[in-house]
């Protein structure tokens, strides 16, 4: 049997390796080429994307720090808080100015869409509908003079009987205001009683008050601080303090200066701050002035600066009349801004019923020259001592020379004294004026004629125990 060697052919030669077909080798090479190309393209695209990302990042602007909280949205009219505005309107309503309060709220943009405003307007309109129009013929006028601040000095002086008869004390006036307030009296402005219309004719004004309230006008006569009353328990003058409030300045018995509420104006101001509903639409009183001794405690008359004049005294040498006039102007301007009115009580405190027309012209000329520059013009005239320029009948420029002249000088409100018919009011549309009788409050009325004051207060309840 023949032997066989592994790896050798039967023909005795070495065995040959089998070769792949030529077509298969070509396909393999092509596949390798495609794979390499794909890898290269992928790397190229990857590098390009990476390069683009880097450029984009590098080209971005540097971010700035911002408030990440969202901007607050503006509130709508429905959401706004009108509390402060409503409180202002309510303050006006306290002084019975409902029309002004309603108008204030209606000025707010979109007031009809806000529940707060709508509720406040409904409330104010309802309260206004309850008000009653006051008959101006029933408006009373109470009039006082400067007050005795130190009763012991006044009633201990040689002039005590005159002072006791014609003046009230601070204590009495304080109590009178409280009694008036408790009884429902409300202070009104004389201009609210009547005023000229577009044609210049006087027409009745409109005063609206709750049905349980009554209207009155207040005045203070001769707030001059006459030289004759120096050292008799009166203040020296009015001043304005740092807060803009009128105060009294008085020299104490020890020579010290006292600043306090010691006369009508500062007392009324303090009372209204405590009781704003005592004043109708912010009304104050009327200050009736003469001019021959200056005004408001300031020695503004020319006689104080004229050593050659017949009325000059050596005591005037220390006075600076220009400074006195400047001080009076400051006080007067502040009082007018607060709502006080000024009136002429004639320059020389003359009796116009007895004075002839020439005397009245001369007196009025002095008033305009010496007082008007300090307080401004006024359309209110007070008659002294109850005197009047006519009877109870209506004034007529055709038959009353005094009235014709005074009317031509701008006076349209005339205030006499009437203690028999309370109140006494006369409105003339044709002659364009208002007359009103004053009820004087003084020691004589308190002690001898308390029945005249009964419609206002109980005289016995306010009487100063130190009064003689």
Per residue in 188-247, pLDDT tens? 999 999 999 988 889 999 999 999 999 999 999 999 999 999 999 999 999 999 999 999
Whole-model pTM? 0.83
Look at residue 284 in the predicted model and tell me its pLDDT: 98
Look at residue 40 in the predicted model and tell me its pLDDT: 44
Look at residue 385 in the predicted model and tell me its pLDDT: 73
Share above pLDDT 70 across residues of the chain, in percent, rounded to a whole number: 83
Compute the average pLDDT of residues 87-96.
98
Q: List the single range of 104-113, 287-296, 342-351 with lowest mean pLDDT.
A: 104-113
Domain spans of the chain, in order of start: 83-130, 133-462
Look at residue 340 in the predicted model and tell me its pLDDT: 98
> In angstroms, rounded to a whole number, what is the distance separating the alpha carbons of residues 445 and 452?
7
Look at residue 384 in the predicted model and tell me its pLDDT: 86
Look at residue 80 in the predicted model and tell me its pLDDT: 78
Q: Which superfamily is assigned to 133-462 in CATH?
A: Glycoside hydrolase/deacetylase (3.20.20.370)
Q: What end-to-end distance do the CA atoms of the chain give, in Å?
A: 181
Share above pLDDT 90 across residues of the chain, in percent, rounded to a whole number: 78
Q: Mind listing the pLDDT tens digit for each residue in 40-73?
A: 444 444 434 434 433 443 344 444 444 454 545 5
Compute the average pLDDT of residues 84-104.
97
Compute the average pLDDT of residues 440-458.
97
Mean of pLDDT over the chain: 87
- DSSP SS3 for 420: coil
Given a contact cutoff of 8 angstroms between Cβ atoms, the answer to whether 208 and 398 are in contact is no
> In angstroms, rounded to a whole number, what is the distance separating the alpha carbons of residues 212 and 206?
17
Look at residue 199 in the predicted model and tell me its pLDDT: 85
Compute the average pLDDT of residues 4-15.
37
Answer yes or no: is pLDDT of 77 > 90. no
Look at residue 201 in the predicted model and tell me its pLDDT: 86
Q: Mind listing the pLDDT tens digit for each residue in 325-359?
A: 999 999 999 999 999 999 999 999 999 999 999 99
Confidence of residue 79 (pLDDT cuts 50, 70, 90): low
Look at residue 349 in the predicted model and tell me its pLDDT: 96
Answer yes or no: is pLDDT of 274 > 70. yes
Answer yes or no: is pLDDT of 23 > 50. no
Look at residue 443 in the predicted model and tell me its pLDDT: 98
Confidence of residue 125 (pLDDT cuts 50, 70, 90): very high
Query: Which residues share a beta bridge with 214?
Result: 185
Answer yes or no: is pLDDT of 377 > 90. yes
Compute the average pLDDT of residues 422-451.
96
Given a contact cutoff of 8 angstroms between Cβ atoms, the answer to whether 462 and 447 are in contact is no
Compute the average pLDDT of residues 415-435.
95
Look at residue 221 in the predicted model and tell me its pLDDT: 96
Answer yes or no: is pLDDT of 8 > 80. no
Compute the average pLDDT of residues 269-285.
98
- DSSP SS3 for 397: coil
Compute the average pLDDT of residues 83-109.
96
Compute the average pLDDT of residues 415-430.
95
Confidence of residue 78 (pLDDT cuts 50, 70, 90): low
Query: Comparing C-alpha atoms, which of 318, 351, 385, 413 is closest to residue 145?
Result: 385
> In angstroms, rounded to a whole number, what is the distance separating the alpha carbons of residues 321 and 303?
9
Given a contact cutoff of 8 angstroms between Cβ atoms, the answer to whether 225 and 297 are in contact is yes
- DSSP SS3 for 294: strand
Given a contact cutoff of 8 angstroms between Cβ atoms, the answer to whether 295 and 367 are in contact is no
Query: Comparing C-alpha atoms, which of 324, 379, 170, 352 is closest to residue 261?
Result: 170
Look at residue 66 in the predicted model and tell me its pLDDT: 45
């Amino acid at each position: 049997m023949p032997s066989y060697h592994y790896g050798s052919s039967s023909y005795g030669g070495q065995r040959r390796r089998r070769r792949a077909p030529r077509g298969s080798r070509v396909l393999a090479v092509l596949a390798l080429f495609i794979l390499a190309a794909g890898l290269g393209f992928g790397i190229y695209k990857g590098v390009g994307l990476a390069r683009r990302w880097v450029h984009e990042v590098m080209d971005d602007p540097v971010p700035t720090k911002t408030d990440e909280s969202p901007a607050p949205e503006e509130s709508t009219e429905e959401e706004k808080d009108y509390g402060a505005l409503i409180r202002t309107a309510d303050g006006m309503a306290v002084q019975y100015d409902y029309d002004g309060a309603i108008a204030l709220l209606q000025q707010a943009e979109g007031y009809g869409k806000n529940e707060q405003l709508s509720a406040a307007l409904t409330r104010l309109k309802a309260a206004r509908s309850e008000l009653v129009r006051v008959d101006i013929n029933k408006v009373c006028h109470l009039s006082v003079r400067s007050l005795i601040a130190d009763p012991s000095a006044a009633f201990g002086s040689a002039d005590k009987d005159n002072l006791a008869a014609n003046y009230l004390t601070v204590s009495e006036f304080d109590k009178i205001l409280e009694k008036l307030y408790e009884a429902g009296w409300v202070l009104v402005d004389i201009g609210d009683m009547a005023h000229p219309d577009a044609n210049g004719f006087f027409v009745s004004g409109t005063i609206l008050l709750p049905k349980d309230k009554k209207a009155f006008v207040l005045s203070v006569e001769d707030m001059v601080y006459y030289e004759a009353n120096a050292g008799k328990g009166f203040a020296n003058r009015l001043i304005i303090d740092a807060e803009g409030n009128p105060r009294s300045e008085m020299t104490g018995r020890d020579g010290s200066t006292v600043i306090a509420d010691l006369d009508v104006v500062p007392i009324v101001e303090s009372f209204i701050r405590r009781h704003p509903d005592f004043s109708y639409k912010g009304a104050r009183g009327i200050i009736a002035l003469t001019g021959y001794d200056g005004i408001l405690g300031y020695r503004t008359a020319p006689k104080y600066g004229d050593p050659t004049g017949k009325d000059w005294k050596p005591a005037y040498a220390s006075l600076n009349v220009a400074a006195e006039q400047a001080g009076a102007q400051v006080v007067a301007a502040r009082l007018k801004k607060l709502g006080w009115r000024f009136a002429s009580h004639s320059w020389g405190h003359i009796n116009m019923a007895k004075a002839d027309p020439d005397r009245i012209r001369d007196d009025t000329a002095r008033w305009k020259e010496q007082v008007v520059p300090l307080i401004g013009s006024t359309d209110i005239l007070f008659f002294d001592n109850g005197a009047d320029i006519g009877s109870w009948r209506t004034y007529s420029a055709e038959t009353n020379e005094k009235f014709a002249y005074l009317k031509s000088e701008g006076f349209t409100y005339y205030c006499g004294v009437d203690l028999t018919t309370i109140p006494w009011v006369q409105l003339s549309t044709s002659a364009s004026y208002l007359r009103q009788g004053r009820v004087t409050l003084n020691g004589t009325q308190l002690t001898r004629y308390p029945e005249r004051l009964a419609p206002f207060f109980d005289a016995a309840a306010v009487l100063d125990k130190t009064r003689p």
